[in-house]
Amino acid sequence: MKALVFERKVARYAAAAVAGRVRPGKGAAVGPLALRDVDEPELPSTTGWVRVRPRLAGICGSDLATIDGHSSRYFGPIVSFPFTPGHEVVGDLDDGIRVVLIPILTCAVRGVDPMCAWCLAGQPNRCERIAFGHLEPGLQTGFCETTGGGWSIAFVAHESQLVAVPDELSDEDAVIVEPTACAVHAARSLLPGDIAIIGAGTLGLLTIAALRHLGADHTIVATAKHPQQQRLARDLGADRVVAAGELPRAIRSLTGAMVIGDQLTGGVSSVVDCVGSADSIGQALSVVAPGGEVVLVGMPGPSTALDLTGLWHRETSLRGSYAYTRDDFMRAIDVVRDQQLGRLVSATYPLARYRDAIEHAANAGGRGAVKIAFDLRNEKERNR
Amino acid sequence: MPRPGFVLDVDRSTPPLLFWHGEGFRLEKLPPERTRVIYPPEPLDPMKDPQAAIRRALLNPLGDSKPLPELLFPDMKLTIAFDDVSLPLPPMRRPDVRQRVIEAVLDMAAEAGVDDVHLIAALALHRRMTEAELRHAVGDRVYDAFAPSGRLYNLDAEDTDAMAYLGTTESGEEVEINRRAAESDLLVYVNINLVAMDGGWKSTATGLASYRSLRHHHNVHTLQQSRSLMDHHRSELHSSNWRMGKVITDAGVKIFQIETTLNTDTFPSPFEFLMKREWEWTARDRALFIGSSKSLARTPSRITRQIFQSIKAPHQMTSVQAGEVGPVHEETIRNVHRQQLVEVDGQTDILAMGLPYICPYNVNSIMNPILVMCLGLGYFFNLYRNKPLVREGGVLIMSHPTPWEFHPVHHPSYIDFFEQVLSETTDPLRIEAEFEKGFAEDEWYRHLYRTSYAYHGVHPFYMWYWGAHALQHVGRVIIVGGEPRSVRRLGFMPASTMNDALEMASDVVGRTPTITHLHVPPLLLADVK
Amino acid sequence: MKLPQIPRLSLVSRLPFPFTAARTPIAVDPLPDKRRTGANYDTEWARSFGARMARLGLLEGVLTPAMEVLAVPDRRGLDRLRDLADADPPQPVIFAANHHSHVDTPLLLSSIPEPWRHKTFVAAAADYFFTSRVRSAASALVLNAIPIERTRVSRRPADDAAALIEDGWSLVIFPEGGRSPDGWGQPFRGGAAYLSLRCHVPVVPVHIEGTGRILRKGKNRPSRSATRLTFGEALWPGEGDDSRRLAVRIERAVAALADEVGTDWYSARLRAHRTETPPLSGPDAPSWRRAWALGDRGPKRRRPQERRWPDLG
């Protein structure tokens, strides 16, 4: 079976880190990701496991960070090598049912009994057992050796991870549901008041869409670098779309704030940071209102030096937002349907052209694209 | 004897002509047979003894006014208001005429034993003048005598306690001017009438007024009805100011207006060639032109800006008149016309002009894209009497690099206007309706206007309204050599060369349009028959 | 630790006769001095091209920089000269200033603007600047000085000066006739006024403040101190002016400038119009009160070095 495999090869990982710095996406060429012929993953012995044959599998920002060698050491113990990436997946079951994957590997999936408190409480995104149970460590499908991942001909998944796709949703719609669920989860947690969204990549755009779907009637200011992103952001419901450098001024005049140094005296009550760099978090903290919240939706870069004096003085919070609950996920399907978010899938590639695909994804904004996915529907092996 | 302005018909032997291009120049060959060039008159001879002329004017006022010494008495409140840093352009060599006039007035006041004197820079919503700028305008002696004790200061139109509401005109326009000026026993206004737009009641009713008052004439409707701004008989802006003048007079404010006119001696040695006609350039002029434009092209813009902003014009006074506002202003306008008027026969399809490095709002500052628009469409387009130089639906071609650059201290609200307003719309009416109030009442802009050196929050709107008449009149605006990003943001079209611009104009005005090149500065006023 | 004092030597005085001039025996009357120094010194050569160039070099290369360092001058009122400076052909003027110190002349010369800067001569006291040939030559070359008598308007120097003014040269003169003995001014004499009337040229009053602290009369080691020069509005000789009245006008103008420097321009104008300008000559009172009234304008105090505790090892 053909699969893209990410192996533990330190030298290659270092080379990818260098290449990724030179040009985003180049890590695929020299790094530890390779297209291999491997055995299909075996179904675990516990009950409820099925085989999924991916139709489309998206390339996510966290995948790119891993491939380009700049993901955090934090991930070391919660992934298991070699793994096949791919957690944004729409696929077919053996009986032909089209499903979309909830990739989080929770207590239920791992057969952990008793389940952790979070899983019991219906918040599996906070599961405490992601490296335990009968599966190899891995926070999600796509980072776990046992399950395989979406960038392959087939992988295995637990029944609790699967949601049937309504017929009216295209494959493109379905593959965007998983990231949309992240956006829905973040959008639901925001404080009331005006909102700034930094970054108009997939997550930024989806957060705008989710906020509008949830009926937020506050002003949404979004930053977007590229013309296509600006157009989409406006289209999906942002009230003001500005270049990154213009954000502090836009928020100042929106909220009628004063300025002290680089810090606005007032600001918006929530800032959703979908970039996650030290610069973007610094900017977010400078435009958030006292008592407001900066929410990191994208995976942040590993090394972030921040001056937190303002955070202390203004009683602002910096908070993460990871994944979603099952309810968020179901809601995401509605968002995708209403806003026809399948249109955000800009290009698809066969597995064999993975280097092009990765490079395209890493430079999506500049090339007028949003979401890049692997298309496995026409792989010969799959249709045998 | 200085030669009057004249209109040159371009033929095949006409040399390429000088176009100002921000902090640089372009030489452009214009199509023969259908192009004409309007050259400004040469600078008039200045008054022989300006000091004596000023005294003479103060002692022999026009209209129904007593000589200044008779209006002065020991225990009076005297306020002297003067034009701000936006005049003249470029700033003139020391001593500035304002200094000469103010010293003459103060000397008479000293003779009368007047102790309570205030001097106010009448800058309305412009930025405050810095100490150096005030010293340049009024001279060190006056500055040192009054500024340390707080009796020489910039107007603060946002200080509600310092403004006095005087009533409304018959058209319902509120009149609110500086309280000290309104409550003085005598208000002496010292003006510089560089163009025909300045002076008259605009001095007091605009220069000393607040936003509450200004919004009645600084708006799209009024400015679209001001045809042109340079002709106060046909300018709604001026009619409104004159109505306000009546309210001010009726409220008992006693004004002694002193207006001065300057000749168009604009550029100092060795750059006098910028005022000459191209075929009269000497070998030295040509060498200087080549040398300076080549070296300017290689110099970083920050430095070229400094070089140009340090130019002090050798302007000299051509007239001074004092007394009652109306008669004084008529005489002033006569003198402005004597210097600047050029008769032009009929309109054209395309009006071409080179925009220089300076306009009234970027003295010691940066000419940002909004100011480029205002200089071209607000000022140069309006340098006409009777009819615009370009026909309705014609094309305006301007030459300026139009960089996306703003002075962060002087123009903070301009940055936001450019980023937030112009990205939404360039329609003056929509801009006025949707955005003006927010900017005008923004606390931050207020704070910067009052304590820093920033133009008021609403000022960029006025820049846009200044061009509203032109925007309504012309069919297309093209900026040659402009940075495409910022030119597009302005709603105009960028062209890399003059030929490209003429090509782009052809789908509006046809293949063989007539072209008029307005060869300014030095300034002129076209009397279009 | 202190270095041993080097005894002052004069090398020249030790050289024997053929190398230096022999003394005139006491019993013999010296020959009358035939060299023309003093008021009769002929300075014509100092206006030759070579001398002018040398002076230009000295003024721009030595005097002006030296004054910038020594006197840190703050020059005011130059704008008042603008119209005169723009006159075509150039208008010669007479700069009349108060006088505290030997620094006044180089300081004023280094402050005079174009077009007069390099076309100026100085009226210098014959009994001080023209006592010897070397001194005369130096005065003529460096300052472009011509000798005048302090106390009276004598024929020859006045004719010379008038001729030079008519030739387009401008004059620097100190009408007080000498440096101030106590920091206050002395009455203005008629020389400047006489020349102004005779040649019909304007007088530019100049007030110099602070040079007394650099090198006041009776001192020979200059110390660094800030100065202020204020140029006034040019005074034209009016109808009915004679030298005495014009001299009074000049003195008043300088006094008004002094007032302007001390307070501010408008207060000075108010007082001038009420004829209450404080006179340059200071209060009519005993000397201690005059010195007292000088205040900050008085001589700079040099604090004696603090006594060190002897180092006893």
Encode pLDDT of C133-171 as tens digits: 888 889 999 999 988 877 666 677 788 889 999 999 999
Say what the pTM is: 0.87
- In the predicted model, what is the mean pLDDT of residues C65-78? 92
DSSP code of residue A275 = S
Give me the residue from B94, B115, B144 closest to C264, CB to CB.
B144
| pLDDT at site C182 | 82
pLDDT given at position C151: 66
Which residues of chain C are within 8 Å of residue B110 when distances are taken between CB atoms?
266, 269-270, 272-273
Contact status, residue A160 vs residue A176, Cβ threshold 8 Å: no
Scan for tokens 């008479």, then name that residue: B108
Chains in contact with chain B (at least 3 beta-carbon pairs closer than 8 A): A, C
- B110–C273 C-beta distance less than 8 A: yes
By C-alpha distance, the chain C residue nearest B99 is C79
Q: How confident is the model at residue A165 (pLDDT cuts 50, 70, 90)?
A: very high
* Residues of chain C in Cβ contact (below 8 Å) with chain B: 76-77, 79-80, 82-83, 260, 264-267, 269-270, 272-274
Name the strand (E) or helix (H) holding C266: helix C265-273
User: Which pLDDT belongs to residue C304?
Assistant: 55
Q: Which residues of C54-65 are buried (b: 16+ CB within 10 A; e: fewer)?
A: ebeebbeeebbe
Q: Comparing C-alpha atoms, which of B217, B208, B148 is closest to residue B180?
A: B208
Q: Which two tokens stand for residue C133?
A: 């040939």
Is the distance from CB of C192 to CB of C161 less than 8 angstroms?
no
A249 CA: distance to closest CA in chain B (Å): 7
Tell me which of B49, B142, B144, B146 to substitute to probe the interface with C (most C C-beta atoms closer than 10 Å). Answer: B144
Supply the pLDDT for residue A70.
Answer: 83
Interface contact C272-B110, CB threshold 8 A: yes
Confidence of residue B426 (pLDDT cuts 50, 70, 90): very high
User: Which residues, including other chains, have CB under 8 Å from residue A160's CB and lie 6 or more apart?
Assistant: A48, A102, A106, A108, A109
Q: Is the pLDDT of residue A286 over 90?
A: yes
Position B458 scores a pLDDT of: 97
The reply to whether residue A240 touches residue B443, judged by beta carbons under 8 angstroms, is no
Within 10 Å of residue A257's Cβ, how many Cβ atoms? 21
Beta-carbon separation of B447 and A242 below 8 A: no
pLDDT at residue B157 in the model: 96
Q: List, in sequence order, the alpha helices (H) in C91-154.
A: 104-111, 126-129, 133-138
pLDDT tens, residue by residue, C288-311: 777 777 776 666 555 556 656 666
Find all residues with CB under 8 Å of C283, minimum gap 6, and list them.
C289, C290, C293
Question: Does residue A116 surpass a pLDDT of 90?
Answer: yes
Is residue C15 pLDDT above 70, yes or no? no
Q: Which of A64-68, B469-473, C4-8 has the least mean pLDDT?
A: C4-8
pLDDT of B457 strictly over 50? yes
The pair of structure tokens assigned to A95 is 């009986």
Q: Determine contact, residues B123/B154, Cβ cutoff 8 Å.
A: yes
The answer to whether C274 contacts B113, with C-beta atoms less than 8 Å apart, is: yes
pLDDT of residue B1: 80
Residue A242 contacts B where some CB pair is shorter than 8 Å: yes
The pair of three-digit structure tokens given for residue C81, joined into one six-digit string: 């000269």
Contact B447 A253 (CB under 8 A): no
Q: Tokens for B331? A: 């005489």
Average pLDDT over residues A218-229: 94
**Cross-chain CB nearest to A258 (options B415, B420, B443):** B443
* pLDDT tens column, B277-334: 999 898 999 999 999 888 998 999 999 999 999 999 999 999 999 999 999 999 999 9
Q: Please state, rounded to an integer, the average pLDDT across all residues of chain C.
A: 83
The confidence score (pLDDT) of residue B406 equals: 96
How far is A235 from chain B, CA to nearest CA, in Å? 14
Chain B interface, best mutation among A253, A254, A259, A263, by max B CB count within 10 A: A253
Tell me the mean pLDDT in the region C186-215. 91
- As a whole number of angstroms, the distance between CA B206 and CA C42 comes to 66
Q: Which pLDDT belongs to residue A267?
A: 95
Judged against a pLDDT cut of 60, whether residue B453 lies above it is answered with yes
CB contact under 8 A, B444 and A250: no
Q: Which residues contact B406 (CB under 8 A, 6 or more apart)?
A: B366, B368, B414, B415, B418
Instruction: Give the mean pLDDT of B139-152.
Output: 93
The DSSP bridge partners found for residue C96 are C173, C205
**Nearest-CA distance A200 → chain B (Å):** 18
Residue A104's pLDDT band, with cuts at 50, 70 and 90, is very high
Once rounded to an integer, what is the mean pLDDT over residues A7-28? 87
- What mean pLDDT comes out for the span A62-79? 88
Q: Which residue has the tokens 């002349």?
A: C105
Average pLDDT, integer, range A173-197: 95
Q: Which of B415, B416, B444 lies closest to A257 in CB terms?
A: B444
Measure C269 CA to nearest chain B CA, in Å.
6
For range C264-290, the mean pLDDT: 86
Of the pLDDT bands very low, low, confident and very high (cuts 50, 70, 90), residue B120 is: very high
Lookup: tokens for A49: 């496991």
Query: At CA B179, angle to CA B174 and CA B184, rounded to 5?
Result: 120
CB-count burial class (<10 Å; 0-12, 13-18, 19+) for B284: exposed
Residue A227 structure tokens: 């013309």
State the average pLDDT for chain A.
93
CB-closest option in C76, C265, C272 to B142: C265
* pLDDT level of residue B518 (50, 70, 90 thresholds): very high
Q: Is the pLDDT reported for residue A285 higher than 90?
A: yes
d(CA B488, CA B490): 5
The reported pLDDT for the residue numbered C18 is 67
pLDDT above 90 as % of chain B: 92
Phi-psi region of B124 (alpha: psi -120 to 50; beta: other; left: phi over 0): left
CB of A169 within 8 Å of any CB in chain B?
Answer: no
pLDDT tens digits, B17-65: 999 999 999 999 999 999 999 999 999 999 988 999 999 999 999 999 9
- pLDDT confidence band for C1 (50 / 70 / 90): very low
Which chain B positions have a beta carbon within 8 Å of C202's beta carbon?
none
pLDDT in tens, B287-296: 999 998 889 9
Helix locations, A116-176, DSSP H: 117-120, 171-175
Question: Do residue B106 and residue C82 have CB atoms under 8 angstroms apart?
Answer: no
- Which residue numbers of B have CB closer than 8 Å to C's CBs? 49-51, 93-95, 99, 106-107, 110-111, 113, 115, 117, 139-142, 144-146, 148
Give the angle subtended at the CA of B243 by the CAs of B241 and B247, to the nearest 5°: 110
Q: Return the SS3 of A169.
A: coil
- Residue of chain B whose Cα is closest to the Cα of A264: B444
Indicate whether C35 pLDDT > 60: no
CA A171 to chain centre: 18
Report the percentage of chain A scoring pLDDT > 70: 99
- A309 interfacial to chain B (CB closer than 8 Å): no
Q: Determine the distance in angstroms separating the CA of C185 from the nearest CA of chain B, rounded to an integer.
A: 24
**Is A256 in the B-facing interface, judged by CB distances under 8 Å?**
yes
Relative orientation angle of helices C265-273 and B97-112, to the nearest 10 degrees: 40
A-chain residues within 8 Å CB-CB of B447?
258
Q: Is C218 left (phi over 0), alpha (psi -120 to 50) or beta?
A: left
Residue C240 CA to residue C245 CA, distance in Å, equals 9
State how far the Cα of B501 lies from the Cα of B354, in Å rounded to an integer. Answer: 13
User: Is residue A317 within 8 Å of A290, Cβ to Cβ?
Assistant: no
Residue C140 DSSP code:
I
A125-134, B348-357, B392-401: range with lowest mean pLDDT: A125-134
